[in-house]
Amino acid sequence: MKASVFLLIPLLLFMLLVDIYTYRGVKPLIARINNALARQSLTILFWGISVFIFAAFSLFMFGIKHVKQSESYIYVGYLVAGFSLFYIPKFVFILFVLLKDIQGAIARTIRWFRERKKKSIPQFKSKRKMERSEFLYQMGLVLAAIPFASILYGVTKGKFNYRVMREKIRFEHLPKSFKGLKIVQISDMHLGSFNKNFEKVSKAVELINEQKPDLILFTGDLVNNFAEETDGWAPVLAKMKAKIGKFSILGNHDYGDYSYWKFAEDKAKNLQDIKNFHADMGFKLLLNESETISINGEEIALVGVENWGKPPFPQHGDLKQAINGSAHQPFKILMSHDPSHWDQQVLDTDIALTFSGHTHGMQFGLERAGIKWSPVQYKYPRWGGLYQEGDQYLYVNRGFGYIGFPGRIGMPPEITLVELA
């Protein structure tokens, strides 16, 4: 309880300061409205939204112990969405209020020096200056509307606006029977975040099947933390179809490390239930092991490792063990959840193609007109799309689901289709 208070009070004070400063800029614009009822309604709306968000944060912080752990991610998502929707635009707006204040401070300083020099100067308010101030506020509102609209779209439509990213990769040593092999990759479902939205995800499954894949690879993070997040999802996800087979690995969230477990047995059972669910949806889970894929008597190796990431992420993956049974195979495909594994270990092997996920593209970025940018690139240089070093390739899927912020802005959920050539 004390920890909740210590976290909540600074947050609410910060939000209140942002609201007060924002209202300083909004108030003159509201005052220009002729209709008194409209002025009063806008004022009530402004503060009413803030009070509602304050109350939501307070109720969650003090009532979190009564929230089912697997559902806490959903409520956190609501809070993050509310904060982002109404406070990020305010941050944009108050930049213009601050600019006006700086201009005012400079003007007062100049006036003070003039008064010191001339002893006396007529005092009056310039109508032109007032108009300039209001213009700054109006410009601030217009620009603040951009993140508001983007966030609103991201949390309503953007998180389900699935796109298919297609790549064709040529390999000199690929067996002829595998030329034209179509691989669909998905990653980072985070089922608990979907809040049982089966219909939307079912449409994504249909989109996957429309690609007519030979293989479907799922590269980890089935859940946020708890096996019970999978309840009800088997009939939906089992409908994914692949001509040869469906294979999967674990991600960092699948081990239940982001929660306190009173008993180690409970955590172990949680992990086992998650592993079992892969079979329920028709996927073969590869745990530091390899699978031989055969076509017309020719073979390639599909290798799957458990999560291997830079600290603080767990390193359960054992690449040497995983490829031990396929060392004789001339062509290997690897599934490894965290793309940092590629640079740290995979480049020292003969693995031709690696599929990873993990980054989500931070669920925010810009990939238009030759621009490819996301804040996540400052932590993960290889964060989305296809990368090459010599004759080795890495593909990083931007994620199928979401966690934390319940939306996607400029970074749609991804279904990857790679054709081997």
Sorting pLDDT into bands at 50, 70 and 90, what band is 340? very high
Separation CA 94–CA 44 (nearest Å): 20
> Quick one: fold of 163-420?
Purple Acid Phosphatase; chain A, domain 2 (3.60.21)
- Residues 6 or more apart whose Cβ sits within 8 Å of residue 404: 76, 77, 80, 363
Separation CA 305–CA 320 (nearest Å): 10
Q: Would you call 292 helix, strand, or coil by DSSP?
A: strand
**Cβ atoms of 234 and 223 closer than 8 Å:** no
Element (H, E) at 24: helix 2-31
Tokens of residue 95, six digits: 């930049």
Separation CA 110–CA 208 (nearest Å): 66
Q: What percent of the chain has pLDDT over 90?
A: 81
**Cβ atoms of 367 and 330 closer than 8 Å:** no
Q: What is the pLDDT of residues 123-158, one digit of tens each?
A: 545 445 546 667 888 899 999 999 999 999 999 999
Count of C-beta atoms within a 10 Å radius of residue 245: 15
Tokens of residue 140, six digits: 């601030």
Sorting pLDDT into bands at 50, 70 and 90, what band is 105? confident
Q: Where in the chain is the domain with CATH 3.60.21.10?
A: 163-420
Phi, psi (deg, nearest 5) at residue 276: -65, -35
Lowest mean pLDDT among 91-105, 149-163, 389-403: 91-105
The answer on pLDDT for 116 being more than 90 is no
Q: Name residue 38's amino acid.
A: A
- According to the model, what pLDDT value does residue 133 have? 65
**Cβ atoms of 253 and 227 closer than 8 Å:** no
Separation CA 305–CA 319 (nearest Å): 6
Sorting pLDDT into bands at 50, 70 and 90, what band is 311? confident
Q: Would you call 169 helix, strand, or coil by DSSP?
A: strand
Mean pLDDT of 179-195: 98
- According to the model, what pLDDT value does residue 263 have? 95
DSSP letters, 212-229, are: --SEEEE-S--SSS-GGG
- According to the model, what pLDDT value does residue 124 have? 47
Q: What is the pLDDT of residues 234-260, one digit of tens each?
A: 999 999 999 999 999 999 999 999 998
* Burial of 3 (C-beta count, 10 Å sphere; 0-12/13-18/19+): exposed
Mean pLDDT of 171-196: 97
The answer on pLDDT for 121 being more than 50 is no
**Cβ atoms of 190 and 223 closer than 8 Å:** yes
Q: What is the pLDDT of residues 16-37, one digit of tens each?
A: 999 999 999 999 999 989 999 9
The answer on pLDDT for 101 being more than 90 is no
The answer on pLDDT for 3 being more than 70 is no
Nearest to 364 by CA among 356, 376, 354: 376
Separation CA 321–CA 351 (nearest Å): 14
The answer on pLDDT for 1 being more than 80 is no
The answer on pLDDT for 109 being more than 90 is no
- Residues 6 or more apart whose Cβ sits within 8 Å of residue 205: 236, 237, 239, 240
305 or 132: which leads in pLDDT:
305
- According to the model, what pLDDT value does residue 322 have? 97
Are β-strands 414-420 and 182-186 bridged in parallel, bridged antiparallel, or unpaired?
Answer: antiparallel
Mean pLDDT of the chain: 93
Q: pTM higher than 0.85 for the full model? A: yes
125 or 284: which leads in pLDDT:
284
Q: Would you call 73 helix, strand, or coil by DSSP?
A: helix
Sorting pLDDT into bands at 50, 70 and 90, what band is 111? confident
Separation CA 13–CA 10 (nearest Å): 5
The answer on pLDDT for 5 being more than 70 is no
Give the rounded distance of the alpha carbon of 226 from its chain centre: 19
Question: Can you list the positions of beta strands (E) in 296-405?
Answer: 298-304, 332-335, 353-356, 366-368, 371-373, 385-389, 392-396
